[in-house]
């Protein structure tokens, strides 16, 4: 469904070289991946490893220096058609739900943003109120939330609203960039359960960017480890304990200790 082929990205670095002008700092090195329909790919890496940069390349916001991004066989950056395909099929949820929802918008208006996109694309007249009610219900919120402002919601509730907005335009793929990272552990599990439920119900494909291995094992089918812009490991989640990659092993060890600690306290 979605494919990255040897994607390289670099940014102009701040440092200026006296002779050659600006130097460039490479952030992604030959990143390749394939996301199959109906699966969830987890992208895992520490801060600064290039996860969000990869996310921006995937959602069509950042053209790579070299390499290809393909959606259903069409190149995203080589043609207008590819970009259009991507816009129609992909939706995004970011970490910072407080800024990704306009504070002056009511919840209904936040969700309407996505519905407008769908209306324009499908050229059908939508009954907004009915759709909003349906979407709120879908993400586990009652219809009274429609008239509230973002500051009147908890972090978890607001992230549910952002998820409702993301799915309101009927996407096929949803990209989450640290979408649950700033929520507490209990709320994280609730949102992950919601994501699993939506994935089934709406037959979605997910790309889930995080620095947290536990959520990957909970949600994903495949996992890609990113370390300083390099893919160091890319394998099915159920094979994760067989990894030979140093970085992946280090992360796994930390999680295994964490799990037993938790088991003791429960
Ligand atoms: N627009 C930009 N211009 C210059 N450098 C950038 C730009 N965007 C990102 N970078 C650099 O690219 C590197 C990777 O950043 P990126 O945001 O992709 O990391 P990340 O893995 O998402 O980190 P985090 O987990 O903290 O969100 C960083 O060194 C960052 O400084
Ligand atoms: Mg990031």
Note the pLDDT tens digit of each residue in 39-90.
999 999 989 999 999 999 999 999 999 999 999 999 999 988 888 889 889 9
Answer yes or no: are the C-beta atoms of 36 and 1 closer than 8 Å.
Answer: yes
Q: Is the CB of 45 under 6 A from ligand 1?
A: yes
pLDDT digits (tens, 9 = 90+) for 137-151: 999 999 999 999 999
Atom 26 (ligand 1) nearest CA: 47
Report the domain count for the chain. 1
Say yes or no: CB of residue 11 within 6 Å of ligand 1: yes
Residue 210 lies inside a defined structural domain of this protein: yes
110 found inside a domain? no
Is 52 inside a domain boundary?
A: yes
Q: Give the number of whichever ligand sits closest to the CA of residue 9.
A: 1
Report if residue 245 sits inside a domain.
Answer: yes
Q: Using the atom order of ligand 1, give the atom closest to the CA of residue 49.
A: 21
Ligand 1 atom showing the smallest separation from residue 11 Cα: 4
Beta carbon of 50 within 6 Å of any ligand 1 atom? yes
Residue whose structure tokens are 């969830």? 40
Q: Which tokens sit at 186?
A: 């209990």
What distance in Å separates the CA atoms of residue 180 and residue 176, rounded to the nearest whole number? 8
CATH of the domain at 9: 3.40.50.300
Task: Specify the ligand 1 atom closest to the Cα of 211.
Answer: 25
| Tally of CB atoms within 10 A around 257 | 10
123 C-alpha to center of ligand 1: Å? 38
Say if CB 104 and CB 164 are below 8 A apart. no
User: How far is ligand 1, taken at its centre, from the CA of residue 51, in Å?
Assistant: 8
Q: Give the mean pLDDT of the chain.
A: 89
Residue 32 confidence class, pLDDT cut points 50, 70, 90:
very high
- 117 within domain boundaries: no
Q: Report pLDDT digits (tens) over 182-193.
A: 899 999 999 999
Tokens standing for 66? 């070299």
**Three-point CA angle 75, 79, 83, nearest 5°:** 75
- Helix (H, G, I), strand (E, B), or coil: what is residue 174? strand
Q: Please report the atom of ligand 1 found closest to the CA of residue 46.
A: 25
Q: How many CA atoms lie within 13 A of 154 on its CB side?
A: 8
Phi, psi of 199 (to 5 degrees): -60, -45
256: confidence class by pLDDT, cuts 50, 70, 90: low
Task: Give 202-230 pLDDT, tens digit per residue.
Answer: 999 999 999 888 899 999 999 999 999 99
Q: Ligand 1 within 6 A of 258 CB? A: no
Q: Is the CB of 53 under 6 A from ligand 1?
A: yes
Distance, in Å, from the CA atom of 178 to the CA atom of 23, rounded to the nearest integer, reads 30
Output Rg (C-alpha) for the chain, integer angstroms.
20
Half-sphere exposure of 126 (CA within 13 A, CB side): 24
**18 occurs within a structural domain:** yes
- Count the neighbouring beta carbons within 10 Å of the beta carbon of residue 29: 16
| Residue range(s) defining the domain that contains residue 237 | 2-102+171-186+198-265
Domain assignment present for residue 234? The answer is: yes
Is 82 inside a domain boundary? yes
Query: Residue 68 in contact with residue 7, Cβ under 8 Å?
Result: yes
């Amino acid at each position: 469904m979605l494919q990255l082929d040897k994607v390289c990205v670099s940014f102009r670095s701040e440092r200026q070289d006296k002779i050659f002008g600006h130097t460039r700092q490479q952030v992604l090195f030959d990143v390749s991946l394939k996301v199959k329909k109906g699966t969830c790919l987890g992208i895992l890496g520490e801060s600064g490893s290039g996860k969000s940069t990869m996310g921006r390349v995937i959602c069509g916001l950042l053209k790579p220096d070299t390499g290809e991004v393909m959606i259903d066989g069409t190149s995203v950056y080589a043609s207008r058609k590819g970009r259009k395909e991507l816009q129609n099929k992909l939706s995004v949820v970011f970490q910072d739900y407080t800024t990704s929802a306009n504070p002056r918008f009511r919840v209904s208006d936040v969700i309407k943003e996505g519905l407008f996109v769908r209306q324009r694309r499908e050229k059908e007249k939508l009954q907004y109120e009915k759709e909003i009610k349906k979407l709120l219900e879908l993400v586990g919120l009652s219809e009274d939330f429609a008239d509230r402002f973002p500051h009147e919601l908890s972090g978890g509730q607001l992230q549910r609203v952002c998820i409702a907005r993301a799915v309101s335009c009927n996407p096929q793929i949803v990209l989450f960039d640290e979408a649950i990272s700033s929520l507490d552990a209990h709320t994280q599990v609730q949102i992950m359960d919601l994501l699993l439920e939506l994935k089934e119900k709406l037959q979605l494909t997910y790309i889930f960017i995080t620095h947290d291995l536990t959520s990957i094992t909970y949600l994903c089918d495949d996992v890609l480890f990113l370390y300083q812009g390099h893919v160091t490991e890319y394998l099915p989640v159920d094979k994760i304990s067989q990894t030979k990659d140093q970085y992946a092993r280090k992360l796994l060890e930390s999680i295994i200790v964490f799990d037993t600690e938790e088991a003791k306290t429960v």
